[in-house]
Amino acid sequence: MEIKGLFNNRFQTNDNTVFGDKTNTTNPISVFSVLNKCIEKADTNADGKLSEEEISIFTSKSQVSILSDLGEEIGDKLNEIDPNILKDIINVVKSYVSKDAEFSQDATELNGMSKEDFIQNATNAQEDENASDFWKLIGTDDAENIFNTIDSDGDGNLSEEEIAALAGKDGDVDSISLSDLSNFFKTDAEGLGATTPSETPVQQAEEPSGTDSGAPSGSYNGGGDYQPSVDSVPEQKRTVEQIDTEIQEQETKRTEAKETANQAIAEQQALIDQAVKDSELSDEFKSEYESENTRLSGLITEKDNAINEQNKLVQDYTAEAQSYTSSISDIASQITTMQGEKAQLDPSKDAEKIADYETKIRNLETKKAEFEAAKTAAEEKANEAKQQAETLTVEKDKLVEEKDKILDTLAEKYTDDKEKVAELKTQIAEYQSKISEIRTNLDRDLATIDSNIQTLKNEKAQLAQSEKTQAILNENRVKPDTSLFNVSASDLANMTQEELQNYWKSLGYDAEMGIKLANMTIEETKHVNGAHQCLRAVRIAFEKYYGEKVLDPEITQSRAGNCLGIMQKREDYREITGLTPEQAAKYLPAGTVVVWEGTNNNNDDVVKKCGHICVLDGKGNEAAGNRYASMYKHVGINKPHYFIPVG
């Protein structure tokens, strides 16, 4: 497949329509949209670059597993794509991820480059086989948009600082990699959606504009919950029970395929047997033919059943080994993260916390070693079962061959019947040919079904193992400080942007979590209609981010102020005090959740009664309900509470 720029490639069909929908040409999915999401999922330790281990783990995943990972973000769009095209997309993405390092571009070569030269390089690369993969990746159609995004000062030339901002995403300022591009250009299901460089790299959804009442969450109806629109409902994660049902369906399909094939073979064999009975062969020949036919058929069935049992063991042990692979990667990622966090502590001030880190890192290393041993054991058992299945298959094939040659074997014994056997074989050649064809088709169908079963068993084992792994990670995670912290607005006012970001980090702020939560909430504002619905976008963004109902409507009763108690109890947010709403909008980082208390007094107006909730983008704007705009002053609403994400 020829890829001419991941940004502008849309996998169009021959009649120039997008995917299978001949009317929908306004909402295609670019390969880069899928690629960005895959890189985000593959980068398990979230360090902005892909290690050899991360690349290996991702490229070993099945298409089903990759699509499952992508389900929450763009799964609904992927469902519209022709399966063959979808397979091509996943294969292309795997290829690009596996060759991450090959996209490296010397940052100095871009220094001082004009927009015209940038676009020309991207254009020329599409016709030049020897052009670098970097320029092929940029593509032609969106080269100008990409340049404008990098060119933050808009002077039409790329400066050393602008190139460094792009190249430094993965910590290497000397070269630009695929991971740099993925982190810099956050695409959505509609194709290119590059961010505008700013002090806080939050995805820009819309220009802040308009106003509304600042009213509370949900579509207020006397305390009842709202009904979210279909496109805003997060996809539910598959359960072990659901996967078991699908495995059973595939196994039933396998049994039916074998029964159908065996029935067809039996029909042809019956014609052969009848031809033998109707022939002029001697009674002794016919009697021994029937006896040998029955004996070998029984042995073949026994071997076939034994092979099936060994193949099931191969599937089960392979799935077990793969589930340990993911767990080992997750634990290794947390160890690396914790080692980095420990290194930033001051031994003279944080001795107790350093000791806590060291204990929990040792615990994780012990568990990682246990999983590695268990993985090796599972792989050995899978290989043993596979070898046993191969041995049994050879034995079965010999029996099948022996059964197919009964006539020839007996002809050597009963020489007087030799010429009659030759005539009989000519008569039954068509039946034997059909049997051979049925066996070939059955082998092909079973291979496909067994592959599906293996994929499902892998998913099931990984799902079960991930719960155990998450419990281990949670138990051995050094919890962030979530105590109430009062800040001084005057101190914040004197800080540079870099000092401000470092200040929040010193308080435990998790930038990756905050930026992602802010982006997800901004995106949800597009799907909310009507006023008085500030909680809806925040609630659904939280549900998608965490995979569970955090701001449960049964508890919040669709009132924003009722989220306060939930936020104050969470261990991944820290409440900050000492700021006015105006100061909060100016200084607090992306992902900060702001909750205004509600009075719950039926005599008050709706806004005051129910409170307000929003998520800040770190640039003075809030995302709430159907709006993404400058943060309200919320005059008349009760006390605001600010919660920064601390991971």
* pLDDT above 50: residue 425: yes
The stretches of 224-278 forming alpha helices (DSSP H) are: 240-278
**Dist CA 356 CA 473 (whole Å):** 14
pLDDT band, very low/low/confident/very high, at 32 (cuts 50, 70, 90): low
CA dist 255 and 271 (Å) reads 24
* pLDDT at position 166: 72
The residue among 329, 302, 381 whose CA lies nearest residue 51 is 329
Q: What is the mean pLDDT of residues 556-571?
A: 86
The one-letter code for the residue type at 357 is: Y
Cα dist from 253 to 308, 348, 456, whole Å:
14, 66, 14
Asked if residue 229 has pLDDT above 50, the reply is no
Per-residue pLDDT reduced to its tens digit, 132-157: 767 777 766 667 777 877 877 778 88
Residue 595 CA to residue 578 CA, distance in Å, equals: 15
Dihedral angle, C-alpha 267, 271, 276, 277, nearest 10 °: 90
Nearest to 521 by CA among 612, 370, 628, 607: 628
Instruction: Return the beta strands (E) in 139-221 as ranges.
Output: 175-176
Question: What CATH number does the domain located at 482-645 have?
Answer: 3.90.1720
Closest CA to 517 of 463, 583, 572, 578: 572
**Helix axes 63-78 and 31-42, enclosed angle (nearest 10):** 130
532: left (phi over 0), alpha (psi -120 to 50) or beta: left
The structural domains of the chain, with segments of one domain joined by +, span 31-184, 240-475, 482-645
- Report residue 170's pLDDT band, with 50, 70 and 90 as the boundaries: low
Q: pLDDT above 70 covers what percent of the chain?
A: 72
Q: How confident is the model at residue 250 (pLDDT cuts 50, 70, 90)?
A: very high
Strand 612-616 relative to strand 593-596, pairing: antiparallel
Any bridge partners for residue 105, and if so which? 176
Residue 417 CB burial class (10 angstroms; 0-12, 13-18, ≥19): buried
Rounded Cα distance, 148 and 143, in Å: 9
The pLDDT value given to residue 151: 79
